[in-house]
Chains A and B, each alone.
Chain A
Amino acid sequence: NAGVTQTPKFQVLKTGQSMTLQCAQDMNHNSMYWYRQDPGMGLRLIYYSASEGTTDKGEVPNGYNVSRLNKREFSLRLESAAPSQTSVYFCASSDEGLANEKLFFGSGTQLSVL
């Protein structure tokens, strides 16, 4: 039971470098999300995708771009990493409707920007 798979698990970048965080889900969910988790701030939504081909900004989108490659995959790109982007990043997916109000999370990517 893979669920939501994120890669890589750990990454260290230098300021100004770029990278892409990968996320894939095997539950045939329409919606996918990227959150960041920072101490004392809980999780904050970066971007989300309600369906294949659509993406929308969340609370903290600045400095990030996303791509919903297909129904399974939703990637997060940092074009020019900054120390303020040091965080733990979580991808999640869900279906829609009141009967499906549950997010399934990946195990996270710990990113350090030096």
Chain B
Amino acid sequence: GNSVTQMEGPVTLSEEAFLTINCTYTATGYPSLFWYVQYPGEGLQLLLKATKADDKGSNKGFEATYRKETTSFHLEKGSVQVSDSAVYFCALRYGGATNKLIFGTGTLLAVQP
């Protein structure tokens, strides 16, 4: 079946540090892949997405590349800020005509000044 596995947190970094959050998936076919972000007290927001192998999604300095050979979609940012502190969810779309998503368990990122 379809599943998403992402690294457990929390991840604690100092401001301007490099960020990597690992995500791997299991799926039939080639699903679209996503990173969503949840700030404290809010719903999830789409951060970036990639729809096919070798695509790179990017937004707000974050990047992730769809790697079919390693079934991975790792999230990276070169220099994190305190305002990036949030929970990050990796997800894949399995829904056919609808946007049904399977989410990973989420990774809490805490950035210290």
Q: How many A-B residue pairs lie within 8 Å, measured between CB atoms?
A: 61
Cβ proximity bits B34-47 to A, threshold 8 Å, 1 near / 0 not: 10100001111110
B32 adjacent to A103 (CB under 8 Å) = no
Which of B14-22, B62-70, B77-85, B94-102 lines the interface with chain A? B94-102
A50 adjacent to B43 (CB under 8 Å) = no
B98 adjacent to A103 (CB under 8 Å) = no
Nearest opposing residue in chain B for A50, CB measure: B98
Cβ proximity bits A56-95 to B, threshold 8 Å, 1 near / 0 not: 0010000000000000000000000000000000101010
Interface size of A in residues (CB-CB distance below 8 Å): 25
**Residues of A at under 8 Å CB distance from B?**
4, 31, 33, 40-45, 48, 50, 58, 90, 92, 94, 96, 98, 100-103, 105-108
**Residues of B at under 8 Å CB distance from A?**
4, 32, 34, 36, 41-46, 49, 51, 89, 93, 95, 97-101, 103-106
